[in-house]
A and B are shown apart, each in its own frame.
Chain A
Amino acid sequence: MVINKWKSRSSFILFLLPALAFYFFFAILPLLQGFWLSTTNWDGTAPWTPAQISIPVFEKKVLDQTPNPSDRALLLKYYTKNPAAGMYQRHDLYGLDRYRLLMIFSARGIVNPDFQNIGLKNYTDIFTGNIDPKFFPQNYHQAKFQEGDPLDNIRLISQDEWQRRFTNHIHDQTELSFLYQAYTLTPKGYELNKSFIPLSSTDIQTALTAIPGLGDAWNDFYGDVTDAGAQLKTPGIVDELIQKLGPVKAHKIAPSGLVQLQSLGQYAYKEAYLKHLVAHYWYVAKIRMGVLVFTIFFTVFNVLFVNVLALLLAFALDTKIKSRNILRSVFFIPNVLSLIIVAFIWQLIFTQMLPKLTGYSDWIMNPDIAPWLTVLVATWQGVGYYTIIYLAGLQNVPQELLEASSIDGARVWTNFRKVILPMMFPAITICLFLSTAGALKTFDIIFALYPSNSTAVGVDNVVINIFYDAFRDKHAGAATAKAVLLMAVILIISGIQITLTKKKEVEL
């Protein structure tokens, strides 16, 4: 089946060369260069050799110090003297010459600080956690109410929330009693007393401007009272602030105005105090997954859902139903569509269709649901492909085995476990391998589903993070280092998968 010697060595090389050459140039060479770049601090844009260099520096430091005539020719080929600007300007540079010039300049000691070899610093940075904190999981408080939100948002607080947020957490008696002053317990929950703060903040301010004699001082007064309330100062602060008012000292405000001032001040103070309290305690403690954990999350659930669904579909389709081939085709259609198109389709579904259908509009930008949405879309896109593989695997289970075991009286589940599953093992192996590698490297779907806002929502996975690191945050060197580590991880996981399945196959 195999020959030991080619009649002519040249044929071997000739046949092999094209593929090897292209592979080398466009995969291996960039790979090696990637390793090299990961040891630099290149930001992706800085020129490797100066685009402009002043005439004296160029001539003295570079030209004169370069003895080699071909090097000098090279320098002069790319740098033209522009006396008007006092500079030598470099133009159109590509190919190997770029590297030659780089070597000449670094030999002369002229390096761009944004393109220096920093050894393994990128790697140590990653391992010591000295990179973007968004990479790792973090606790955060999702604010349910911010200090500038309208009072209307907290007119009604359910008993549940009250218990969870306030009763369990507030220990300061002053704060608690303030809250109980503001709210009354009704069958609907805790309702804000209308008389507590009878005016809207806008109306309070409007009323302040209407106090004769106060003039422009109302603005600072309102600001000070609000700040005092937000700092949870005692109620007496309102009178203090009134006393400090210039127009009061100058008797420009009538007693009736003072009364107004006091009540308005109290309202503003109470509003700020209340809002600060609520904002401070009304949050949901959450964990932001971060890039690393999200990648794991996505991989695990995508692989799980895709394989389980595909398996189920394969079983369903491997029956006598007549439309089986058509159904198989239908389920495969999403897989032939471009991932970008798939993501754009689902973007429209999430932003237009679902809100109209369900009345609930916060789907795609909801940080809690968003990770699941990405898993959903990726699963939808991939399930058809694996269904086909599982179907093929199922069709390899000999009928006799199935019939034999059911004659035995074996139940469906045992049948499944002991007979079908082991025979499907190659198919399961392939699917697990492919789906895991694919999930780890998923880029297009998430990128198109969340163009430019994936970071804010929290659905950056490692490959998207690398992409943004290189092209948005301008850390080409560091980003490539991350990619090297990713490669190592994929190697390890693939290795584990292969060894495990090889072992299992042997057992079978």
Chain B
Amino acid sequence: MKSFTKALFTMSTVALLGLGVAACSKPAPKTITLRLSLYKQEIAKQFKDLTDAFTAANPGIVINTEITPNDGGAAQAAAAAAGKLPDIIQSPAYAADFQLAKQGYAVDLTNLPVIKDVNPDLLDGVTYEGKIIALPTDVGTLGILYNKAIFAKYNLKVPTTYLELQQVAQTLKKNKITPFAGLLKENWSIGHFMELLHGSMLGAKGYDGLKGSAAIAKFAEDMNQGKADWGKVVDLKAMFRIMDWYHSNMSKNALNNAWNEEVAEFASGKTAMVVQGQWFINPTIAAEKAANTNFDIGFFPFTWSNNPAENKFFSSADSTFVLSTQSSPEKQAAAEKFLNFLATPEAIKIWTGEFKLVPAFKDADLSSMPSAFGDIAASESKLGSYSWEFSLAPDPTWENAMKNGALGYVLGKMTPDQIAASINKSWKENYKN
């Protein structure tokens, strides 16, 4: 009897355990959680609305967003080397994306449905060896933002040539208004400007029989092989004369100005113009409210040339999304659903309305954005744009040789020839292939 009870007891225990295990191992409802890294900190808070909208439309897929800091290069590098890249990586177009593709981390998106909706001018920033390896999501544009009220007050017309720009500046100075707000405490803004000049002049002059963005792209290819000279493909003297002109028309306090100060200078009405990107528009509007100045902002390309047709906006795909090859096929499929979602009107509404960014998709509805954004579309539909030359340069070249070269020049520490030499050297050395 005892042994029977024992056996019964054992069997029932085993059975119960078995049931328990079976119950526990019953698959829970399948939720795929994707990791997404953002480098644009300014949209971090609102980004949740986008991911929530996506999950609502695609139940079962949850996206967790992480922010990488400005110096995200180091963070991403460590993650990549350890095999821990996020599933969806927000990455600047061009060099950063190409680097990811070259190292084998970027999924080929050429046949993704959403690619057809992207503005074709922006695809060269995400095409590597013939394959599209990232989805451009928004556009960055550099040019001159101006205070419409001041222009109206002194009867100034929006310049279309370099001479007109000089005339505007002269009139402003006669009336004791500083033409340009400046940011020289950090090196990125003056770096942008130097590259804007170089890229635009190169695109206008042409390279190897090509013009415009195609010329810039070919030039970059040659720089990769060490076959081109940054200082010789444009009239360097003329270019730096324009740099000098811009510097001399900048606010005297520019050396102490970082972002906050430049916004304040422009929003307060102390300066009439500022050379910046479209990301400057919304902070200015906010600062205007605080300073109670409330003027309209307009946007026009920096008119470095006396031939109006050559003065185009300096624009490129700004941020893109890369899908990581380190993710499982299941996660990659889920991530692709997210990318396709971005072209839907719902997503675009969030992108323009909440993020205040210009989407990279064709015919996106910009009506919810301030009129300055509309100026971009108007100019580009007529004249086109030049792509961001510095995006094609290797990261260290842009970060060090170009940015510090530009700042060094205005500090009087470097000559144009030295800048060119350091860019040439850095570009060739740091190009990975």
Interface residues in chain A, defined as those with a beta carbon under 8 Å from any beta carbon in chain B: 43-48, 50-53, 78, 80, 82, 84-85, 87, 89-94, 98, 114, 140-144, 146-150, 153, 200-203, 205-206, 209, 219, 223, 227, 230, 288, 350-352, 355, 361-367, 451-453, 455-458, 468, 471-474
Contacts and interface: CB of A to CB of B under 8 A. Distances in A.
The 8 residue pairs across chains A and B that have the minimum distance between CB atoms: A148-B244, A52-B104, A148-B241, A93-B83, A45-B77, A456-B407, A51-B104, A351-B256
A364 B185 contact: yes
13 contacts: A52-B104, A89-B326, A148-B241, A148-B242, A149-B247, A150-B245, A209-B163, A219-B307, A352-B256, A366-B255, A453-B185, A472-B73, A474-B430
B339 to A, nearest CB: 16
Interface in B200-254: 237-238, 240-245, 247-248, 252-253
B327 A91 contact: yes
A201 B187 CA distance: 29
Contacts of A200: 170
Contact of B400 (A149, A366, A451, A473): A473
Contacts of A52: 104-105, 325
B255 A365 contact: yes
B256 A147 contact: no
A98 B430 CA distance: 26
> Most chain-A CB neighbours within 10 Å: which of B170, B399, B411?
B411
B413 A47 contact: no
A74 B291 CA distance: 63
B363 interface: no
A352 to B, nearest CB: 8
B107 interface: yes
Given A147-B237, A453-B185, A473-B396, 5 more contacts: A141-B415, A219-B306, A361-B256, A363-B256, A364-B256
A47 B244 contact: no
A363 B83 CA distance: 45
Interface string B43-66: 000000000000000000000000
Contacts of A141: 415
A94 B242 contact: no
Contacts of B185: 351, 364-365, 453
A149 B82 contact: no
B152 to A, nearest CB: 21
B166 interface: yes
Contact of A46 (B81, B163, B408): B81
A206 B163 contact: yes
A426 to B, nearest CB: 42
A453 B407 contact: yes
Nearest to A200: B170
B325 A45 contact: no
B186 interface: yes
A459 to B, nearest CB: 12
Contacts of A351: 185, 256-258, 261
Interface of B: 71, 73-74, 76-77, 80-84, 99, 103-105, 107-108, 163, 166-167, 169-170, 184-188, 237-238, 240-245, 247-248, 252-253, 255-258, 261, 306-307, 325-329, 395-396, 399-400, 403-404, 407-408, 411-415, 430, 432
Contacts of B77: 44-45
A202 B187 contact: no
B400 A355 contact: no
Contact of B80 (A51, A153, A451): A51
B241 A355 contact: no
B328 A80 contact: yes
Contacts of A142: 412-413
Contacts of A456: 187, 403-404, 407-408, 411, 413
A230 B235 CA distance: 13
A355 B185 CA distance: 14
A51 B255 contact: no
Contact of B256 (A92, A355, A451): A355
Contacts, number: 173
A202 B108 CA distance: 52
A144 B411 CA distance: 10
B186 A202 contact: no
A361 B252 contact: yes
Given A46-B81, A98-B82, A474-B396, A147 B248 contact: no
Given A52-B104, A351-B185, A458-B413, A90 B170 contact: no
Contact of A205 (B163, B255, B400, B404): B163
Contacts of B414: 140
B166 A51 contact: no
B400 A51 contact: no
B333 to A, nearest CB: 10
A205 B413 contact: no
B167 A206 contact: yes
Nearest to A81: B329
Contact of A474 (B163, B245, B252, B395): B395
Given A85-B108, A92-B83, A205-B166, A149 B248 contact: yes
Given A90-B326, A93-B82, A205-B166, A453 B186 contact: yes
A207 B76 CA distance: 56
B103 A140 contact: no
Nearest to B405: A456
A45 B163 contact: no
A184 B128 CA distance: 62
Nearest to A85: B108
A92 B83 CA distance: 4
A114 B394 CA distance: 15
Contacts of B186: 451-453
B430 to A, nearest CB: 7
A20 B188 CA distance: 45
A51 B432 contact: no
Nearest to B430: A474
B241 A91 contact: no
Contacts of B104: 47, 50-53, 87, 89
B240 A51 contact: no
Contacts of A206: 163, 167
Given A94-B84, A144-B412, A351-B185, A361 B253 contact: yes
Given A114-B432, A223-B238, A51 B326 contact: yes
Nearest to B432: A114
Contacts of A451: 186
A360 to B, nearest CB: 11
Contact of A148 (B163, B243, B256): B243
Nearest to A220: B306
A94 B241 CA distance: 53
A327 to B, nearest CB: 33
A51 B307 CA distance: 49
Contacts of B82: 92-94, 98
Contacts of A355: 253, 256
A68 to B, nearest CB: 22
A153 B245 CA distance: 12
> Most chain-A CB neighbours within 10 Å: which of B99, B395, B400?
B400
A149 B244 contact: yes
Given A51-B104, A148-B243, A365 B411 contact: yes
Nearest to A150: B248
Nearest to A114: B432
> Most chain-B CB neighbours within 10 Å: which of A114, A219, A472, A473?
A473
Contacts of B80: 45, 47, 51
Contacts of B396: 472-474
A207 B268 CA distance: 34
A119 B138 CA distance: 45
Contacts of A93: 82-83
Nearest to A144: B412
B240 A92 contact: no
A150 B170 CA distance: 11
Nearest to A205: B163
Contact of A92 (B103, B243, B326): B326
Contacts of A144: 412
